[in-house]
Amino acid sequence: MDTDERYEKYVAEMDRWRMRAARSGSALMRSGRTIVGIAAGVLVLLLLFSTLYQVQPEEVGVVLRFGRYVRTTEPGLRMKIPFVEEVQKVQVQRQLKEEFGFRTEEAAVRSTFSRADFTVEAVMLTGDLNVAVVEWIVQYRVADPYQYLFKVRNLTDTFRAMNEAVMREVVGDRTVTEVLTVGRQGIETRVEERLRALTQQYEMGITIEQVVLQDVNPPDPVKPSWDEVNQAQQQRDRMINDARAEYNKVIPRASGEAQQAILEAEGYALNRVNRAQGEGARFRAVHQAYSRAPEVTRRRLYLETMERVIPATGGRLFLDKDASSVLPLLPLDRFRAATTPASPVEPAAANGGKP
C-alpha cells in the first residue's frame, strides 16, 4: 500500500472517531439534562412534603421550631417551614384508657386478654388488714396538648404510678367487705376526684372522665371460704328480710284491728249516751205535758198501752159483772175455738185477774 492510500485510510478512520465522539457527547448532554430535571423534581417534592402536613379530625398538630413550641394547629391541611419546624400530632378527641391488673389484647365482641401475670398491680391491702385483688380501668382525654407533651417527662409511666398510689390509698381506708360489695361506687368516685386534683396539680394536660372497677375478688387461695361466707350472709339477710316482711304484715293488721275495736267501742258508747240522753229528754217532755194535764195524759197513756196490748192477746170476750144473761144467738163456742189457740195468755191474767 502506498503513502496516499494509507493517508486516506487514516483520515477516514479519524472521521469515524469524530462522529462517534459527537454522538456520545450529545447523548451525555441529554442524560445530564435528564438527571438535573429529575433532581429538581425530587427537590421540589421534598420541599412540598416538608412544607405541607395533614392533621386528622380527632387530632391537633403541635408545631416545634428548633425544638421549641411555637403554635398548635387545628385539623386540616397545614403548612410549616421545611427543615426548620417539625410537627407532633396529639389525639385530643379520642378517649384513651389505662388498664390495671389485666391487659386487653384485642377488643371485639369477644375480647381477648393477655395471659401475663399482673397481680403486682392488682393485689392490695385493705383497712382491716385483708387482701383484695382489684382490677380497674381509667378513661381520660388530652385537654392541653402543650402540657401533655412538655410538662411531665414519661407521662404514661407517671400517670400509671399515680393511679396505683391513689387506688391503694383509697382501698386502704376501707374494709375488705366494703371493697368487694357495697363500697365499689364510693371507691370509684373517690379515686376519680383524687386523680383529677393530682393531674391539675402536676399540669399533665389530661382530664379524667371515668374510673371503673372492672373486677374485685379475694385472692384465689381464700376464694372458696369467701364464697361460703357470702352465702351465709345472704341467707342471714334473706331471713331478716322475711322476718321484717312478716312483721310488717302482722303488726299493722293487729294495730288496725285494735284501732277498729276502739273506734267501734267509742261509737257504741256515743250511741248509747245519745240514746239515753234522748230518752231522758223525751221523758222530761212527757212529764212536763203530764204536769199540765194529768188526767188527759193518763188516759192517753192508757189508751196507747191498750192499743199495743189488746191485739197481742187474741180474741177475748168481756162481760159486764152485773150482766145476768147472754144473747142466745151469740156463737161463743165457735168464737172460742177460733181464738183460743192463738192466745197463750189466760183470760184472767189478761183482765187483771177478773173473769
Cell of 124: 392490695
Please tell me the predicted confidence (pLDDT) of residue 10. 67
129: left (phi over 0), alpha (psi -120 to 50) or beta: left
Angle separating helix axes 223-292 and 294-313, nearest 10 degrees = 120
φ/ψ (deg, to 5) at 13: -65, -40
pLDDT string in tens for the chain (355-residue length): 556 666 677 667 777 777 776 666 565 566 666 776 777 777 767 777 778 888 998 999 999 998 899 999 999 988 888 888 899 999 998 999 999 999 888 776 677 888 888 888 999 999 988 899 999 999 999 999 999 999 999 999 999 999 999 999 999 999 988 898 888 999 999 999 999 999 999 999 999 999 999 989 888 888 888 788 878 988 999 999 999 999 988 888 899 899 999 999 999 999 999 999 999 998 888 778 778 878 887 888 888 888 888 777 766 666 667 766 665 545 555 555 555 554 444 444 344 444 3
Q: For cell 245519745, what's the residue?
A: 274
Please tell me the predicted confidence (pLDDT) of residue 333. 58
Cell of 91: 389525639
CA distances from 134 to 155, 158, 225 (A): 23, 20, 18
Please tell me the predicted confidence (pLDDT) of residue 206. 95
Please tell me the predicted confidence (pLDDT) of residue 158. 94
Q: Where are the domains of the chain?
A: 14-89, 96-218, 221-292, 294-350
CA distances from 252 to 168, 240, 246, 248, 257 (A): 48, 18, 10, 6, 9
The highest-level CATH class for domain 96-218 is alpha beta
